[in-house]
Amino acid sequence: MTESKIENENESSYRDVFRNKEFVKLLSGQLFSNIGDAVFRIAIVLYVYSLTGSAAQMTFVLAAQTLPWILIGPISGVLADRISRKAIMVSADFMRAISIIAIPFVHSFYLLLIIAFLDGVGSSSFAAPRSAAIPEIVGLKSYVKAISISRLIFQTLAVLGPLMAAPIYAFFGPPAFWITSGCYVLSGLIILRTVIPSASREKETLTMKTIFSDLREGLSFLFRHPIIKILLVLFAFIIIGASFAGPLLYPWIFEIRHSGNVLLEQLANIEFGIIGAIVAFGTVIGTLLFAKFEKRIGRSRAIIAGVVGLAVYYIIFIFTPSIYVIGVFGLISGILAGMHSLSINAYFAEEVPNEIRGRAYSATNAYVQVFSVICLSLSGLTSEAMGIANTMLMASGILFLGIILLSIKTKFLKFTKVKIVSTAPIAGD
């Protein structure tokens, strides 16, 4: 088969993707889910911080929401390779809807920890089957464009979400969480009517031995794969840096930019939403650019640039920049992050076989979230000990260290210039 013929077979258009009715249904469900997510991400930070006044307690709640990705996520990945992926996704949507509906009546920090944990159970259960199903719904040759559309919707709502969420929360207060709950219900109902392929595996009785055997198989595949094992190391540095610095944006705006003046709290809320929208808008641009110019940009450049862009973004906060400077650097960081994320997603979809994709995705999520939970828990404490801006600067140093070490080790990710066909064994071989 000639090189030009292979290249033509690998090409796909956006029109082809949108002709796939089941993928369009999945996108419709995602639309409502992402609207809820966009409002929730802003509202939970504002609610917890206004209730406790503590950056440390705010990050503890975020850590509680992340913990199920370690405890529950891997099991959901095993189930995604054994039972109906659709059933898991629908159940997860309703789990999230139910878990957050009581938040407006909760004023206890410890109850919020429990609710955040339950919401995380739903989110972690949803992620693996959804990620595993998309390549099967659209096919690998359409995956980059399909995932770029999916991320475009996510990031567009991430742009609009912060702009909507701050006014919505200011107007409704805690009942704003009911909007999120309703969106998850609508998402679940749409996914219920979507045809979602399950893994092509022999059915067998699920036991604890089977579950742990499957988990070992997924982890073994990840750390044997020549590309993915390198990306997993990079993930660790990214998650550590982002988990230390990311949650401190709002405390930085309120406590440093506005000196903790309660009269300026609403302005701080709005600025927090605007910055989040700008970064998300940049990610939309980056996603579209990479989907169109993937070969020209190159995956190695996209991966390296995404980490460097995030590191530079966190550095600027030590200089107490204006809101305009933060916006410019946030936009650039978002563009590079969009390219970075889409590149890594494409590798995972191409290199992980469908038979173990659920376990592989959930094992990856669990792996990176171990670092996330630890660093989120320490982020608030570290900021109180050494200052918010200094903690963000430390996070930037971690990101730079990670990408420098990996660039030296892999000769600037040279492996990404060549298509590597996975030689790792598939489940059942």
Is the pLDDT confidence value at 322 over 50? yes
pLDDT tens track for 336-359: 998 988 888 778 777 777 667 767
Quick one: residue 40, left, alpha or beta (phi over 0 = left, psi -120 to 50 = alpha)? alpha
Rounded CA-CA distance 337/302 in Å is: 8
Average pLDDT, whole number, for the chain?
Answer: 80
Is the pLDDT confidence value at 262 over 70? yes
Is the pLDDT confidence value at 146 over 90? no
Identify the residue with better confidence: 40 or 379: 379
DSSP string, 200-212: --------HHHHH
pLDDT band (50, 70, 90) for residue 155 = low
Q: What is the mean pLDDT of residues 204-209?
A: 64
Rounded CA-CA distance 354/228 in Å is: 16
Query: Which of 47-56, 206-215, 369-378 is least confident?
Result: 206-215
Residue 148 tokens, joined? 């770029």
* Res 420: pLDDT: 38
Q: What is the mean pLDDT of residues 164-175?
A: 77
| Amino acid occupying residue 299 | R
Is the pLDDT confidence value at 418 over 70? no
Is the pLDDT confidence value at 334 over 70? yes
Rounded CA-CA distance 48/19 in Å is: 43
- Contact yes or no for 359/81 (Cβ under 8 A): yes
Q: What is the mean pLDDT of residues 114-119?
A: 88
Is the pLDDT confidence value at 302 over 50? yes
Identify the residue with better confidence: 393 or 211: 393
- Contact yes or no for 367/326 (Cβ under 8 A): no
Is the pLDDT confidence value at 127 over 80? no
pTM for this model (two decimals): 0.67
DSSP string, 235-291: HHHHHHHHHHHGGGHHHIIIIIISTT-GGGHHHHHHHHHHHHHHHHHHHHHHHHHHH
* Res 424: pLDDT: 35
Is the pLDDT confidence value at 11 over 70? no
* Res 354: pLDDT: 67
CB atoms within 10 A of CB 82: 21
Which range, 36-45, 244-253, 261-270, is most confident?
244-253
Virtual CA dihedral for 277, 103, 372, 326, nearest 10 degrees?
20
CATH numbers and ranges of domains, the chain: 16-197+207-415 (1.20.1250.20)
Rounded CA-CA distance 248/392 in Å is: 8
| Amino acid occupying residue 61 | V
| For helices 21-52 and 265-297, angle between their N-to-C axes, nearest 10 degrees | 140
Q: Which stretches does DSSP call E strand in 300-381?
A: none
* Res 64: pLDDT: 86
CB atoms within 10 A of CB 147: 23
For residue 337, give the nearest of 270, 413, 419, 276 by alpha carbon: 276
